[in-house]
Structure formats: structure tokens, C-alpha cells
Amino acid sequence: MVSSNQRLQKVIAQAGLASRRKAETLITDGRVSVNGQVVTTLGTQVGPGDQVSVDGVPIEGREKLVYYLLNKPRGVVTTNHDEKARATVIDLLPEVTERIYPVGRLDYDTTGALLLTNDGTLANQLMHPKGRVDKVYVAKVQGIATESQLQPLRSGVVLNGRKTAPAQAEVERVDAGKKNSWVRITIHEGRHHQVKEMLAKVGLPVQKLKRERYAFLDLVGLQPGEFRSLSHQEVSRLKQGDYRTLRRK
């Protein structure tokens, strides 16, 4: 219910259905009605007692859109239900009553940043190949990694007959005694096992893998298994297509 006279696109945005810009598109496309009448004029004022619907569904009757960032631990599957009865990422958010689902996936033994939401529009936007969402991983690999060894990843390597997009890759540190290294790699694709296969391709088998950042979202303040709600500003940035990471110097 609208508490005071407001512009229609603002009411839709405040309901969490879309960004203000997307709400304007919904209106001009004829998908919004007020009291049963389709409204296509931007700036239309609505007030208390007016019923606003999008695609025929009253906005008051829609499930509240929620957005969470989870620090996924090892040994948890990225799905809503698992046929093997293993723990799922949904099990880690027991107090969340909305029907959320993960955006993309992390492997069973991969840890780190995972976004969960019930906003299908944003989820599809983020997972679409044209989205080019930066994902930053730190991998513990077998062997002494060198910058020259990572060069093919910066140009793209062929996996299963398809060349990967150029990635950012750098050696974080090496442990000569244990003969392993830590490599930071940034990709914006989402192929199955992609980071592991890319590193294996250049002779650096992955022993541990963590996604430290998804777009501009990081894990500061989150221990494995912990999660937090995204701020309104963070959601707006994602909806506006701001998928940049903080670049390392």
C-alpha cells in the first residue's frame, strides 16, 4: 500500500521489483496498471488506496526481493536440493523465509563469495555471458608458479574446444620448501570447473580454491558459513551493471 502520493516508478522501485530506470521501462512497455488501468505515462502520481500491479500481479502480493552474500565453506553444494542429501548453501540461511537460490555456482570443495537472491531478473542479468561479471579467485596450486607460466591465461587458453576470454593472473606468493604457490586470477566467464582447468592447463594443479570477490562484493567481515544482506546501494550498483572489482596495483 502506498503511504503518500509518489511517482509510479518510485513506488515500483521501492517495492524492490526493479531499479528506477527498469521501472520506467516497465511502465512505458505497458506492463504496469493502477487500479486495473494500464498506465504508460512516466511521473504518474499514485497515493494511498491505489493498487499498483506489474504484469497483473499487485506489488503488495509479491514476495519481497532479498539479496544475500554468503561466504561458502567447503563441503557444501551450490543448489537448493541435493539428491545425495548433502548440505546445501540454502541450509546455511535457515532464518531466510523467502525462496532464494544461488546465482551461479561454486564447486563442492571451492569456498568464497556466493550471491543468493529471489530476484530472477537480476540473477539472469548477472549470469548472462554479456554481463561480464568479474570474479576474483585465489588458488593454492601445486608447483612453483611463475609470471611467464601464467601468460597464456592472460591471452586465453583452449578448454574443451573453446578458447577462454583473457584473464588477469598473477603470482601471490610461493613456498619453495613445500613446492606450492598461491595464484590470483580474475575471470568473467562461468564455465564449469573453469579456474581449475585453466590452471591445470598451464601445469599448476589446484589444491584449494577460494572466490574472494564477486563483482565489487568482497568477504570482509564474513567467516566461512556466514552471510549478510546486500545494501540498497549494492543492489542498485548490480542492477545498473557495475560489475567491477577493485583493481590491484
The predicted model gives 82-97 an average pLDDT of 92
Question: In this structure, what C-alpha cell is assigned to residue 150?
Answer: 601464467
Instruction: Express as a percent the part of the chain with pLDDT over 70.
Output: 95
- Is 70 exceeded by the pLDDT of residue 89? yes
- Is 70 exceeded by the pLDDT of residue 79? yes
What pLDDT band is residue 175 in, cutting at 50, 70 and 90?
very high
The runs of H, that is alpha helices, within the chain are 8-14, 20-28, 120-127, 147-155, 194-201, 232-239
The predicted model gives 69-79 an average pLDDT of 96
pTM of the model as a whole = 0.76
Rounded-to-integer distance, Cα 33 and Cα 184, Å: 49
Question: In this structure, what C-alpha cell is assigned to residue 228?
Answer: 549478510
**SS3 state of residue 70:** strand
- Give pLDDT, residue 222: 97
Contact 206, 139 (CB under 8 A): yes
List of E strands, 132-201: 135-142, 158-159, 162-163, 168-175, 180-187
Query: What's the pLDDT tens digit per position in 1-33?
Result: 454 678 898 888 777 677 778 889 999 999 999
Query: What's the pLDDT tens digit per position in 112-146?
Result: 999 999 888 888 889 887 778 999 999 999 999 99
* CA terminus-to-terminus distance, the chain: 49
Q: Residue written as cell 506489474?
A: 54
Rounded-to-integer distance, Cα 28 and Cα 169, Å: 44
- Give pLDDT, residue 1: 47
Residue of 207 and 132 predicted with greater confidence: 207
- Is 50 exceeded by the pLDDT of residue 171? yes
Contact 71, 115 (CB under 8 A): no
- Give pLDDT, residue 129: 77
**SS3 state of residue 135:** strand
Cβ-in-10-Å burial (0-12, 13-18, 19+) of 78 comes to buried
Mind telling me the catalytic residues? 107
- Give pLDDT, residue 248: 41
Q: Report strand pairing: 110-117 vs 206-214.
A: parallel
Query: What's the pLDDT tens digit per position in 25-43?
Result: 999 999 999 999 999 999 8
- Give pLDDT, residue 126: 92
Q: What are phi and psi of 91, to 5 degrees?
A: -65, -20
